[in-house]
Amino acid sequence: MFRPFRAIPLTLHVDFVAKRWWAFSLTFALVLASLAAFTLQGLNFGIDFKGGIVIEARSSDNVDFASLRAKLNGLGLGEVTLQEFGGPTDVLLRVQRQTGDDDAQQRAVESVKSTLGPSYDYRRIEVVGPTVGRELLHAGLAATAFAIFAIALYVGVRFEWQFGVAAFIATLHDVFVTAGLYAILGLDFNLTSVAALLTLAGYSINDTVVVFDRIRETLRRQKTNNLKAIINDSVNQTLSRTLMTAGTTLLALIPLVFFGGSTLFGFSLALTWGILVGTYSSIYVAAALLLYMPPLRRLESRS
């Protein structure tokens, strides 16, 4: 007879609720470190938010990105990023905004074109001003905030408002400390980083909802009013699924961290860190927050 694989045996029973103060202490330390990083050095905004130069070009041969990156970094133009765009002969270059007026930006464009040589055909050259960058930053932050509030609202409507508040705190924590990683390590924070935070918010709430759904089912079945026992049973029953989901996702992300190149490094590292933090918060923090809210109803009438 076929038996499904379980990462965690059914007989294992960990008292997660009893360890909640250790988890809350770790959460507080991560939030404090992130706040300190934001206050002392802030985020290292990339070209998308600071403004800069965008060049889309096509070469007559396949682009040697390593060699081209080395040449452009030697021009003294500051931050320069390259990525394949469409095919192996297409390249998208981003150069940070230069100090000075429009003439300084045009000199930088000419310097890049001179380095690339006559074998490149230029499809698009744009100079992104700081005003546009600020608008993109505000839109990105607004999208992230809206996503977190929408997630909490959904959980509150689907379950009970106590679940929505717990989901909001846990998701906000995961996104905040992941953004803090960018500040602590000085990684470029750009539109790709916003995409990583939004992806993480969706991933984090997925694990949390699984635990909450099991808590709701247990509330219906059991007659006990011991919420600590209900939370422990629910987390233990979903633990195998939570760890397997995180493990398989990390199997795809960790190679990107080491072999994905500089373009994907910040995105993949943030997601890797966020999944680790999100998995721990789903197990230790999100459900335990229900202990500090008004009593949950039995939910017999809810679907």
- Reading the chain (303 residues) residue by residue, the pLDDT tens digits are 445 555 566 666 778 788 888 888 889 999 999 999 999 988 888 777 777 888 888 888 888 888 888 888 888 877 788 877 767 888 888 887 777 777 888 888 888 888 888 888 888 887 777 676 778 788 888 888 888 888 888 888 887 888 888 888 888 889 999 999 999 988 888 888 888 898 888 888 888 888 888 888 887 776 666 778 888 888 888 888 888 888 888 998 888 888 877 667 888 999 999 999 988 888 888 888 888 877 665 444 343
List of E strands, 129-281: 188-189
| CATH class, 17-44+133-292 region | mainly alpha
**Chain region(s) in the chain for CATH 1.20.1640.10:** 17-44+133-292
- How many other CB atoms are there within 10 angstroms of residue 22's CB atom? 10
Give the side-chain half-sphere CA count within 13 A for 229.
6
List the structure tokens of 171.
């998701």
Contact assessment for residue 46 and residue 33, using Cβ atoms and an 8 Å cutoff: no
Helices (H), 186-226: 191-221
**Chain region(s) in the chain for CATH 3.30.70.3400:** 52-128
Q: How far apart are CA 222 and CA 217, in angstroms?
A: 9
| CATH class, 52-128 region | alpha beta
Q: How far apart are CA 81 and CA 290, in angstroms?
A: 45
Contact assessment for residue 31 and residue 183, using Cβ atoms and an 8 Å cutoff: no
Q: At what angle do helices 191-221 and 261-280 cross, to 10 degrees?
A: 20
